[in-house]
Amino acid sequence: MAGDDASLTIAGERYELAVADDFAGPRVDEGLWLDHYLPHWTTAERSAARYDLGSEGLQLRIDADQPAWRAEDGRMRVSNIQNGAFSGDAGSERGTHRHTAGLLVRTPVPIRRPWTPLAGYVEATLRAPADPGCMLAIWLVGFEESGPADSGEITIAELFGERIAPERSTVRCGVKAVNDLRLVTDVADIELPIDATAAHRYGAAWNAERVHLLVDGEVVRTLDQGVGYPLQLMIDLFEFPATEERPPAAYPKTALIQSVRAYRRSDPQQDSPL
């Protein structure tokens, strides 16, 4: 990858900066972000993110008293920011990221789509925890307003705490079909000579035909399938507790989002802008 912050060249394609957030304000920018994880499938108190803003960026937290995201999904807890929201009415199956069977809308949400790109380049600078019960993830997921089949996911990075070490860390990345029969799930674990608890940049450049996945500006995977419908960006810190015990000294579990950058391709004829 070559270029400055305002423009980049990736795999021969030129990109121009469209959205930038360094999380410098006193609160998350509500014009860009929703600080809930898929709130339509659960209740507001369960979907709400725990976080702090400081000089280094946005620190996502999992607290000892944080409730599970959904009682039906067991102990899993999450703090997340996402740049959109869509759902049908209460009881409907329509909504963004129907990632597991049996999901029904519990809390209808108004449509929010400040930027749901069809193509482009997105990257975030992240610091992940080396906690074996946690995962930090960044995904682009089908918004699904255009239809329930438009549900594929670009897995930019999944960083599992037990696979992070000072000399080498594993990054899981690829494409997941979810409910899109036009796609084939293809994710892989890439071991890299990085310490993922330090700041690294994780990104994806994509269009309807192809996906390039990058770490620190270098392409680590290219997939010859793409996603050509609107996508929503999600950055999430998950905890998967093994037991119900929550020793206060073990909390909070944290991860840092230092910045997010989103780019549109320079040729306006190639795709719709962000």
Q: Report DSSP letters for 177-195, one per residue.
A: -TT-TTS--EEEEEEESS-
pLDDT of residue 274: 40
| Total H helices, total E strands in the chain | 1, 16
Give tens-digit pLDDT for 76-117: 999 999 999 999 999 999 999 999 988 999 999 999 999 999
C-beta neighbour count of 248 within 10 angstroms: 9
CA 60 from centre of chain: 13
Give tens-digit pLDDT for 26-57: 889 999 999 999 999 999 999 999 999 999 99
On the question of pLDDT at 18 being above 60, the answer is yes
CA 167 from centre of chain: 25
φ, ψ dihedrals at 148, nearest 5°: -65, -20
What global pTM score does this model have?
Answer: 0.94
Burial label, 14 (beta-carbon count in 10 A; 0-12, 13-18, 19+): middle
Give the rounded percent of residues in the chain with a pLDDT score beyond 70: 96
Cα angle for residues 254, 257, 258 (degrees, 5° grid): 130
Query: Residue 104 has which token pair?
Result: 């029904």
Give tens-digit pLDDT for 129-169: 999 999 999 999 999 999 999 999 999 999 999 999 999 99
pLDDT of residue 4: 63
